[in-house]
Amino acid sequence: MRHGKYPLIVTFLVPPVLLYVIFVVSPYLQAFQISTTDWLGYSPDANSVGLANFKTLWNDDYVWNALKNNAILLALVPVLTILLGLFFAAMLNMGGRKGRAGVSGVRGSSFYRTVYFFPQVLSVVIIALLWKEVYHPNKGLLTSALNSVGLAAPTWLGDPRTAFWCVLAVMIWSNVGFYVVLFGAAMSAIPKEIYEAVMLDGASRLATLWKVTIPLLWDTVQVAWVYLAIFALDGFILVQLMTNGGPNFSTDVIGVRMYDTAFGSETKFGYASAIGVVMFFLTLTVAVLALRASKRDRIEYS
Amino acid sequence: MNRRDILRRTAAAGLLATPAAALLTGCATGGGDDKGDAGTHKGTKSEQNPLGVKEDAPLEVVIFNGGFGEEYAKAHEAMYTEKYPKAKINHSATQEISKTLQPRFVDGTPPDVVNNSGAGQIDFNGLVSQNAIADLGELLAAPSLDIPGKTVKDTLLPGAVEVGSYDGKFLVMNYTYTVYGIWHSTKLFTERKWEYAKTWDEHIALCKQIKAAGIAPWTYAGAHPRYMSWPLISTAIKFGGPTVATAIDNLEPNAWKSDGMKAAADAWHQIVKDKYILEGSPGLDHKQSQTAWCQGKAAFISCGSWLESEQKDVTPAGFNMTVQPTPSLGSGDKLPFEAVRGTAGEPFMIPAKAKNLAGGLEFFRVMLSKKGAQDFTRKVSSLTVVAGASEGVELPYGLNTVVKALDASGANGFNWVYNNYYRKLERNLVDAACGEFFSGRIGPAEFLDQCQKGADSIAQDSSIKKYKRAV
């Protein structure tokens, strides 16, 4: 087989690498090049303007406003989603009362597992439209529920004070289900003997979760962290469909700004690429930091 | 490889994949070679064929599939092929004009006719400044297809050419004629014995009466609050004369803070202050607010004359929507109450690099023929820029009131075009200011400040080409 090794590797490796270079790497490089031009997108002519786009960007209040919103998302979405995901997964896998020696989920856990996963099955567009109706200020589910118990409801997406939090809630709602399943799968891989030992020592449930389950899940949590951090820097589809950045730019995110600059109210592709380049480095930095910050010693249980 | 490795690797793949999506705008400048095949399909000009159409050249038409659908365009295409049976027409319809066509513009292979409209419209400022669209001057000079003795230009309603002109060049053929005003249900008003008010004070008194009857006087599209900038600017123009509009269009310093704009903003602030707007309106989009209005939850709404066909499915029978001009502020107004904003809309263009440029022009000539225009009006219940083309066509109730409003307005009609020159100014900046103003979070002075700040930011942006128009 030794002789056949390289042809085999080449046959299997070259096509995917080629595809990757053409469709992923080359657009990156082009975006970097375009970001240094004043290209307006509808003719092949573009003048090189050096770093002027980045200078404009630095002074662009709308970009900063969008970045501020992304920063809030970055601070809240991963933490809340992971906490909720861990809580639900723990309840589903080891929240049950029966079986003193073993661990089992609450009654009907398989049903809940399916229900939590629903948002993951729906496309993001459906989720956005669904919630837009839930937030309908006159006949939406939320307003009706509040009114029926005699409370006044805000205008949700129509008020800059609430709109951002409404979108943030949907982001968490639509993500939690996936992490419940992810954490759940990881939890069921933890050997039962460990729990038995812990229970013999008389540990409380919370202590078990905190001292045993989470440390053993740390790798998974770390991955979740990176995913969610990247998601928080994006959030484009939900925001664009639910509020398009409004009212008064209160829900604007950097992805919407970039889209609007190129395809929306202007055709400044050069400037939009500059925003894209900034986004690239931000995402990269955040991901690396997230991986670094959550680095811990590995625990092997085999 | 164990589970952790797989997870770790997926994370790494995620790392690389997401920024890839983020950088999508950067896809391919297309090498920048000019293929130089613009207008390759040329025929010989003759009396029968004034634009020099090559009779067997294919014609590609891209239609915005919005409120008007695409059926009307297919009918126009059929009329074209009737004249040129050998021509093959490539018809397509999309809601995403800019995303679909951008790569083709760069590549130098754009379609021949583009209906550049809708939310995914390509910003005209960018197109014009890049010389990406063809001059339609030849079309105006050509004889009309079925109105004898007149050139195409002679058959158009006043203002139709101006709206599509940039620095004196006619580049965009706006096909429909749209009236912007305040709409109400004749049925509701007759039942309650209300009468549309001609002055602002009477309007406020009427609003009080309507509110007392348990109906909200106003609603608007909170997600697109710029709809409310239309009656506000109209009020200002009627008060201060058409120069209010030219100043705004020409980005003159403090154009948004003229006496007219101040008076109008103060007046309109009344409906916010007195809570004459349907509660929750700031959270509605245009469809939701228009539906609430059709359901009788609100009495007035601001919209253009596409409202009737847009609401066709939800309008109750006998609703009878009527358009009216904005109320006058007082006897000092420069324009009479009847003056209304009428303008050509629904833009069509021919890319400068279209292969069948002559065919595109000829297609426009078909659209602007009496037969083509009447067919359009019949199919989509909307007026065209062809003067008198709606005669003999049975119009629905609302469109009839549009025709009446236009007749009454006559030479006093007015318009503004800053939204065409600088899409961002209306769509982003004035829009946001209107949202704050009509939800009551800011007062009239701050509103005008915010609009002016937006206009100034456009004026100072050297990367945006500026246009001027005369009064």
pLDDT computed for residue A287 by the predictor:
84
Q: Say what the pLDDT of residue B18 is.
A: 45
Nearest-Cα residue of chain A relative to residue B225: A247
Give the mean pLDDT of chain A: 87
Q: Is the CB of B100 inside 8 Å of chain A's CB atoms?
A: no
CA of B293: how far to CAs of B240, B290, B438, in Å?
31, 5, 17
Is the CB of B118 inside 8 Å of chain A's CB atoms? Answer: no
Please determine, for residue B226, whether its predicted confidence score (pLDDT) is greater than 80. yes
Nearest residue, CB atoms, A230 vs list B18, B127, B297? B18
Partner-chain contact A158 B126, CB within 8 Å: no
According to the model, what pLDDT value does residue B24 have? 42
Amino acid A96: pLDDT:
65
pLDDT-based confidence at residue B321 (cuts at 50, 70, 90) = very high
Residues of B in contact with A243 (CB under 8 A): 223
CA of B121 vs chain A CAs: smallest distance (Å): 8
Contact (CB<8Å) B23/A273: yes
Record: contact B120-A263, CB cut-off 8 A: yes
Domains of chain A, each with CATH number or no CATH: 1-29 (no CATH), 58-293 (1.10.3720.10)
Q: Within its chain, how far is the Cα of B162 from the centroid?
A: 14
Residues 128-167 of chain B whose Cβ lies under 8 A from any Cβ of chain A: 129-132
pLDDT band at B3 (very low <50, low <70, confident <90, very high): very low
Are B24 and A279 a contacting pair at CB < 8 A?
A: no
Which two structure tokens, joined as six digits, stand for B183?
A: 């709409």
B94/B102 Cα distance (integer angstroms): 13
Domains and CATH numbers, chain B: 33-178+343-399 (3.40.190.10), 179-342+415-460 (3.40.190.10)
Per-residue model confidence as pLDDT tens digits over A103-145: 677 777 888 888 888 888 899 999 999 999 999 998 889 999 9
The per-residue pLDDT for range B37-58, each reduced to its tens digit, is 566 778 888 888 889 899 899 9
Q: Which residue has the higher pLDDT, B287 or B5?
A: B287
Supply the pLDDT for residue B5.
54
Cβ count within 10 A of residue B149: 7
A295: chain B residues, CB-CB within 8 Å: none
CB pairs under 8 A between A and B: 196
* B292 near A CB under 8 A: yes
Note the pLDDT tens digit of each residue in A46-56: 889 989 999 99
Contact at CB, A247 and B26, closer than 8 angstroms: no
Of B8, B25, B292, the CB nearest to A258: B25
Of A28-37, A211-220, B77-86, B191-200, the poorest mean pLDDT is in: A211-220
Is the preceding omega at residue A247 within 30 degrees of 0, hence cis? yes
Best of A35, A258, A267 to disrupt the B interface (most B CBs within 10 Å) is: A267
Does position B19 have pLDDT exceeding 50, yes or no?
no
Name the residue with higher pLDDT: B430 or A189: B430
Report the C-alpha gap between B340 and A272 in whole angstroms: 39
Is 0.90 exceeded by the ipTM? Answer: no
Q: What is the pLDDT of residues B353-363, one digit of tens each?
A: 999 999 999 99
What is the model's pLDDT at position B15?
45
Question: Three-state SS across chain A?
Answer: CHHHHHHHHHHHHHHHHHHHHHHHHHHHHHHHHHCCECCCCCCCCCCECCCHHHHHHHCCHHHHHHHHHHHHHHHHHHHHHHHHHHHHHHHHHHCCCCCCCCCCCCCCHHHHHHHHHHHHHCCHHHHHHHHHHHCCCCCCHHHHHHHHCCCCCCCHHHCCCCHHHHHHHHHHHHHHHHHHHHHHHHHHCCCHHHHHHHHHCCCCHHHHHHHHHHHHHHHHHHHHHHHHHHHHHHCHHHHHHHCCCCCCCCCCCHHHHHHHHHHHCCCCHHHHHHHHHHHHHHHHHHHHHHHHHCCCCCCCCC
Instruction: Check CB contact under 8 Å for A283 and B127.
Output: no
Q: What is the pLDDT of residue B37?
A: 59
B11 touches chain A (CB under 8 A): yes
Query: Residue B380 above 70 pLDDT?
Result: yes
Name the residue among B33, B106, B463 with its Cβ closest to that of A38. Answer: B463
Q: What is the pLDDT confidence band of residue B447, given thresholds at 50, 70 and 90? A: very high
On the question of pLDDT at A276 being above 80, the answer is yes
Shortest CA gap B158–chain A (Å): 28
Q: Which residue of A43, A124, A222 is the best one to mutate when testing the B interface, meaning the one whose CB has the most B CBs within 10 A?
A: A43
Q: How would residue B31 be classed by pLDDT, with cut points 50, 70 and 90?
A: very low
- Distance from the Cα of B223 to chain A's closest Cα (Å) equals 7
Which residue in B26, B427, B436 is closest to A27 by CB distance?
Answer: B26
Q: Looking at beta carbons, which residues of chain A come within 8 Å of B283?
A: 135-137, 155-159
Per-residue confidence band for A161, with pLDDT thresholds at 50, 70 and 90: very high
Instruction: Tell me the shortest Cα–Cα distance from A75 to chain B, in angstroms.
Output: 18
| Of B26, B99, B279, Cβ closest to residue A263 | B99
Q: Which of A102-116, B138-152, B298-312 has the least mean pLDDT?
A: A102-116
Residue with structure tokens 């602030």?
A: B269
* B31 neighbourhood in chain A, CB within 8 Å: 44
Choose between B234 and A110: higher pLDDT: B234
Between B229 and A189, residue with greater pLDDT: B229
Mean pLDDT score, B214-227 = 95
Written as six digits, the tokens of A125 are 């567009």
